[in-house]
Amino acid sequence: QKEVEQDPGPLSVPEGAIVSLNCTYSNSAFQYFMWYRQYSRKGPELLMYTYSSGNKEDGRFTAQVDKSSKYISLFIRDSQPSDSATYLCAMSVAGGTSYGKLTFGQGTILTVHP
Amino acid sequence: EADIYQTPRYLVIGTGKKITLECSQTMGHDKMYWYQQDPGMELHLIHYSYGVNSTEKGDLSSESTVSRIRTEHFPLTLESARPSHTSQYLCASSALGRQETQYFGPGTRLLVL
């Protein structure tokens, strides 16, 4: 079983829709939770990161972490065609020799059509 | 904005050739990483470095090698390329103490014939 599971989609939504992207994980030692956006033929770009549980908002993006359920989400409000990309969740422990070794989900391909 | 560069962006090469993928960053980050990404699959860490003269193997076994002679430069070398090495290779960097925040380069797409 993979440490991080992410539904690969693809997910297709109309412009203006609210998008929910999710990951589950099995390692309870994960403390940092990141969301990356990757456009076609580009490297991943860090969107948001959250430490431990809770919510974090940045413009149209909201990241949620539920450590009790080992479940994280990224919500995109008022989605735009420019949001079309692959979204990757990533996680890391907070210290020790494994700190900074990110474990990635498979990525969810999102298309927002006008 | 992250300043991390990878060259070449695309490389098509024959089996048995030696190749070096270049990665440079101008952010002064101590920690650097190499990931391998196949289409539709997750990124896998193959090498990382804490700083000059430090190199460590990642979670995914790789026949490649790396070196870190300068802080800003972290090249990856394949001594004898094989078709199984065909993949996308992504370089990333982060500041020590902020290792969860990694900045990625644009990647090198390698095709070995």
pLDDT tens, B34-58?
A: 999 998 888 999 999 999 999 999 8
Comparing C-alpha atoms, which of B100, B110, B102, B89 is closest to residue B32? B102
How far apart (Å, rounded) are the C-alpha atoms in residues A95 and A97? Answer: 7
Instruction: Retrieve residue A89's tokens.
Output: 């969740």
Q: A interface mutation test: which of B100, B101, B103, B109 has the most A CBs within 10 A?
A: B100
Instruction: For chains A and B, count residue pairs whose Cβ atoms are closer than 8 Å.
Output: 61
User: Nearest CA to CA, how far is A30 from chain B (Å)?
Assistant: 11
Closest partner residue to B104 among A8, A43, A49, by Cβ?
A43
Tell me which of B76 and B63 has the higher pLDDT. Answer: B76
Q: Does B48 touch chain A (CB under 8 A)?
A: yes
- CA pseudo-torsion sign A40, A44, A47, A48: positive
Per-position DSSP letters for A77-109, written without gaps between them:
SS--GGG-EEEEEEEEESSSTTTT--EE---EE
Residues A21-50 have pLDDT tens digits of: 999 999 999 999 999 999 988 899 999 989
Q: Measured between alpha carbons, how far is B101 from A99 in angstroms, rounded to an integer? A: 11
Q: Give me the pLDDT at residue B39, please.
A: 84
pLDDT value for A99? 65
Structure tokens at B48: 């990382």
| Interface contact A8, partner B, CB < 8 A | yes
Q: What percent of chain A has pLDDT over 90?
A: 79
